[in-house]
Amino acid sequence: MPRFDKIAFVASETKEAAEALAKLTKQYGNADFAEANAIVALGGDGLMLQTMHCHLNSRIPIYGMNRGSVGFLLNDYHEDNLRERLKAAEITVIHPLRMTAYDERGAKHEALAINEASLFRQIYQAAKLKIAVDGKVRMDELICDGILVSTPAGSTAYNLSAHGPILPIDAPLLALTPISPFRPRRWRGALLPNDAKVRIEVLEPDKRPVSAVADHTEFRDVVEVEVMEESGIDILMLFDPGHSLAERVLAEQFGY
């Protein structure tokens, strides 16, 4: 079991987070990321996602404490006994999505998404999309505001707001969810195995331009997007006992 004698802290720019950073650094020190046994993120879910993106390949466990607003990915904030809390914490391993997008000039763009990879209409015109899964066309034409592919970790975020399903955190699944579908109007999306490769072709891109977004990275005027799980990257998240991400995802389905 790690000793957690070297903790690296990162904080958002809010007053609450800055004050917490000063107090915790004084009490526990602040190790360099290269030497840290754990990273403690002080802020909201946005900072937690940013921290995970910054340390995708480090395999350093990340423990968030809520000094922001939402805090779904975070633990409660307490200053005392931090090393003991880290030792007792439960580890959740998640994998990001790899989004590969090709724009109208033929340029290739890649980005990783922890929550979801999304396509959005850029103007007032609805997007027209063709959807293929593992090389087989499953929908010749979807007219919509957009579509997203969500990980289990991201299924309670934008995916849920778009009426997509909540996925158990350890489910080997991805959610394919339309955003404001017009035709077919009643299509609510699909559940896919986590090793599926989703290819989305933009129809009429000159008339109906579309952008592609992986979490907070955007590419505009795309004509084709591929999304698949990057199973070779493990992101290690730490949660207090009884408050794991799996428990939070399950509780979300019962409205609390």
Distance CA 159, CA 168 (A): 13
pLDDT of res. 219: 98
pLDDT of res. 154: 93
pLDDT of res. 78: 93
Instruction: Give the model confidence (pLDDT) of 128-160 as tens digits.
Output: 999 999 999 999 999 999 999 999 999 989 999
What's the mean per-residue pLDDT of the chain? 94
- Note the helical H segments in 37-196: 45-54, 82-88, 158-161
pLDDT of res. 197: 98
Query: Which residues of the chain does CATH 3.40.50.10330 include?
Result: 7-94+234-252
Query: Which residues of the chain does CATH 2.60.200.30 include?
Result: 97-229
Q: Is 206 part of the annotated catalytic residue set?
A: no
Instruction: Give the model confidence (pLDDT) of 97-123 as tens digits.
Output: 999 999 999 999 999 999 999 999 999
Residues whose CB falls within 8 Å of the CB of residue 179, separated by 6 or more in sequence, listed in order: 118, 120, 144, 145, 146, 147, 148, 162
Domain 97-229: what homologous superfamily?
Probable inorganic polyphosphate/atp-NAD kinase; domain 2 (2.60.200.30)
Q: Checking phi first, is residue 204 left (phi over 0); if not, alpha (psi -120 to 50) or beta?
A: left
Residue 256 confidence class, pLDDT cut points 50, 70, 90: low
Q: For residue 255, is pLDDT > 80?
A: no
Report, as an integer, the average pLDDT of 239-245.
86
Report, as an integer, the average pLDDT of 77-85.
95
Report, as an integer, the average pLDDT of 31-41.
95
Least confident of 6-15, 66-75, 232-241: 66-75
Distance CA 102, CA 46 (A): 27
Distance CA 148, CA 214 (A): 10
Q: For residue 185, is pLDDT > 90?
A: no
Distance CA 136, CA 200 (A): 11
CATH class of the domain at 7-94+234-252: alpha beta
pLDDT of res. 238: 94
The predicted model scores a pTM of 0.90
Catalytic residue among 5, 45, 195, 206: 45
Report, as an integer, the average pLDDT of 58-79.
89
